[in-house]
């Protein structure tokens, strides 16, 4: 499961874990402070923001070639571009500085920071192990020509599956990024699986936007989103040639966040890469 859905509201599980870690750290710090010391609530929140800011700046610097010509994109957090370890280092260094300057904070702040980091690290690792153990769902879809295909027929090379809809603003914004990647990475198969829309409405959208997508598939009942545990759009999934999930991204992709998600494909042996258009379909 990639998202938690309540009615029409969906939130990524990794975001829930991050918020949960902050709440748990605050509760533990407050509890320890009651036995003697200063309540670290405001400091913990400041450290949380410091860590997030550092993680974002580090990501932008690492993928500077994608951001240098678009300053606005640097502050657009919707692409989910963060590097965790620099953020953790900045948070720990900030906690040490606060503790050195304010002795009454040391024990409550240490307890909160350690508890929060342990919770976030262990649950994030568990979620990652669970996700990467999942396989490509065996689901029937339709092509733009109305032909029936099996999703597993596209195995055999690196595979990127984008779940989208024309009514979804972030889906529309990220589509040129995916179209460009499709053109630049012929070794990777991109599938654009539309969720519960008619072929006519999708064809009209692609034509009016001037988009050329090689593999547009249709999931009339939204079964693929249910199978992978994500009812949020857009959702992008990254599979190895043998159909194993190695990465996922919920929300809008930027060029930088897509490049990062596709980095594992650079280590796939060339011999295993091949076109994966099913014989039953016209691609």
- CATH number for 179: 3.40.30.10
Identify the H or E element spanning 257: helix 255-261
Residue 260 and residue 178 share a domain: yes
Instruction: Please name the residue ranges forming H helices in 68-135.
Output: 71-74, 84-101, 106-132
User: Token pair of 276, please?
Assistant: 């994966």
pLDDT in the model for residue 271:
41
Q: What does the pLDDT average to over 190-202? A: 94
Residue 159 and residue 268 share a domain: yes
Rounded to the nearest 5 degrees, what angle is found at the Cα of 203, between the Cα atoms of 200 and 207? 140
Q: What does the pLDDT average to over 183-196? A: 95
Q: What does the pLDDT average to over 62-71? A: 92
Structural domain contains residue 279 = no
Q: Quick check: 1 pLDDT over 70?
A: no
Q: Quick check: 33 pLDDT over 70?
A: yes
For 112-145, write each residue's pLDDT tens digit.
Answer: 999 999 999 999 999 888 877 789 999 999 998 8
Give me the chain's average pLDDT, please.
90
Q: What does the pLDDT average to over 235-244? A: 94
Identify the H or E element spanning 17: helix 13-34
pLDDT in the model for residue 208:
94
Q: Quick check: 22 pLDDT over 60?
A: yes
pLDDT in the model for residue 6:
66
Residue 125 and residue 189 share a domain: no
Q: How many CA atoms lie within 13 A of 1 on its CB side?
A: 7
Per the structure, the complete domain to which residue 233 belongs is given by 140-272
Residue 221 and residue 182 share a domain: yes
Residues with Cβ within 8 Å of 235's Cβ and at least 6 positions away in sequence, in order, are 2, 3, 162, 163, 225, 228, 248, 249, 250
Residue 249 and residue 144 share a domain: yes
Domain boundary among 102, 132, 162: 132
Q: Quick check: 7 pLDDT over 70?
A: no
Tally of domains within the chain: 2
Cα separation, 16 vs 78, whole angstroms: 16
Residue 183 and residue 127 share a domain: no
For 146-167, write each residue's pLDDT tens digit.
Answer: 899 999 999 999 999 999 999 9
pTM of the predicted model, to two decimals? 0.87
């Amino acid at each position: 499961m990639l998202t938690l859905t309540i009615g029409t509201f969906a939130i990524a599980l990794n975001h829930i874990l991050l918020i949960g870690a902050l709440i748990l750290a605050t509760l533990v710090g407050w509890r320890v402070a009651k036995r003697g010391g200063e309540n670290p609530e405001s400091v913990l929140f400041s450290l949380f923001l410091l860590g997030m800011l550092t993680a974002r700046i580090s990501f932008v610097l690492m993928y500077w070639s994608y951001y240098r010509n678009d300053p606005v994109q640097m502050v657009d957090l919707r692409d989910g571009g963060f590097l965790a370890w620099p953020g953790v280092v900045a948070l720990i260094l900030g906690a040490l500085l606060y503790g050195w300057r304010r002795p009454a904070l040391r024990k409550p702040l240490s307890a909160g920071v350690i508890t929060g980091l342990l919770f976030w690290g262990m649950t994030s690792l568990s979620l990652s192990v669970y996700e990467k153990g999942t396989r490509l769902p065996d689901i029937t879809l339709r092509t733009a020509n109305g032909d029936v295909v099996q999703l597993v027929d596209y195995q055999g090379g690196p595979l990127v599956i984008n779940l989208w809809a024309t009514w979804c603003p972030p889906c529309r914004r990220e589509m040129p990024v995916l179209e460009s990647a499709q053109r630049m990475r012929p070794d990777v198969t991109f599938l654009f699986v539309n969720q519960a829309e008619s072929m006519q409405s999708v064809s009209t959208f692609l034509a009016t936007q001037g988009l050329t997508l090689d593999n547009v598939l249709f999931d009339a009942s939204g079964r693929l989103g249910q199978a992978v545990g994500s009812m949020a759009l857009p959702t992008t999934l990254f599979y190895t040639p043998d159909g194993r999930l190695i990465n996922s991204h919920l929300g809008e992709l930027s060029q930088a966040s897509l490049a990062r998600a596709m980095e594992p494909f650079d280590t796939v042996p060339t011999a295993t890469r091949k076109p994966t258009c099913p014989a039953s379909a016209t691609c």
